[in-house]
């Protein structure tokens, strides 16, 4: 079992609303939440409690709409699955 002090924890999620609004052409929308267009690339920044290491598992859950349709992309540092080929750390 992994020591709880070593567990990877997300401290903050930044959806980079202004940057994504430009690339998704949604900058004029009057909303406090980001708006993403289906099929378009978007960026986000995760602040973690420690550097991401090859033994960590990073699982992200996304939901859209009122019904909450979920997708569970899972990426492992150092291994790039096909569905996550464009995932990379942001400087």
Q: CB within 8 A of 51, min separation 6: which ones?
A: none
pLDDT digits (tens, 9 = 90+) for 24-56: 677 676 777 777 766 777 888 889 999 988 888
Residue 91: inside a domain, yes or no? no
The mean predicted confidence, pLDDT, of the chain is 70
Residue 39: inside a domain, yes or no? yes
User: What mean pLDDT comes out for the span 63-74?
Assistant: 61
Q: What is the DSSP string of 10-79?
A: EEEEE--HHHHHHHTT-TT---SS----TT-----EEEESS---TT--EE--EEETTTTEEE--EEBTTB
| Number of structural domains in the chain | 1
pLDDT digits (tens, 9 = 90+) for 13-26: 888 877 777 776 77
Residue 54: inside a domain, yes or no? yes
Residue 90: inside a domain, yes or no? no
CB 38 within 8 A of CB 19: no
Confidence of residue 1 (pLDDT cuts 50, 70, 90): very low
What domain range is 65 assigned to?
A: 4-84
Confidence of residue 60 (pLDDT cuts 50, 70, 90): confident
Most confident of the ranges 60-64, 65-69, 85-89: 60-64
| pLDDT of amino acid 71 | 54
CB 44 within 8 A of CB 58: no
Residue 89: inside a domain, yes or no? no
Residue 64: inside a domain, yes or no? yes
Phi and psi at residue 47, to the nearest 5°? -105, 120
């Amino acid at each position: 079992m992994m020591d709880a002090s070593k567990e990877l924890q997300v401290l903050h999620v930044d959806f980079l609303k202004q940057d994504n609004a430009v690339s998704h052409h949604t900058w004029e929308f009057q909303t406090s939440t980001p708006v993403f267009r289906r099929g378009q690339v978007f960026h986000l920044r995760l602040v973690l409690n420690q550097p991401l290491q090859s033994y960590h598992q990073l699982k992200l859950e996304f939901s859209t709409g009122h019904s909450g349709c979920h997708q569970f992309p899972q990426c492992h540092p150092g291994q790039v699955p096909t569905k996550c080929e464009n995932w990379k750390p942001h400087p």
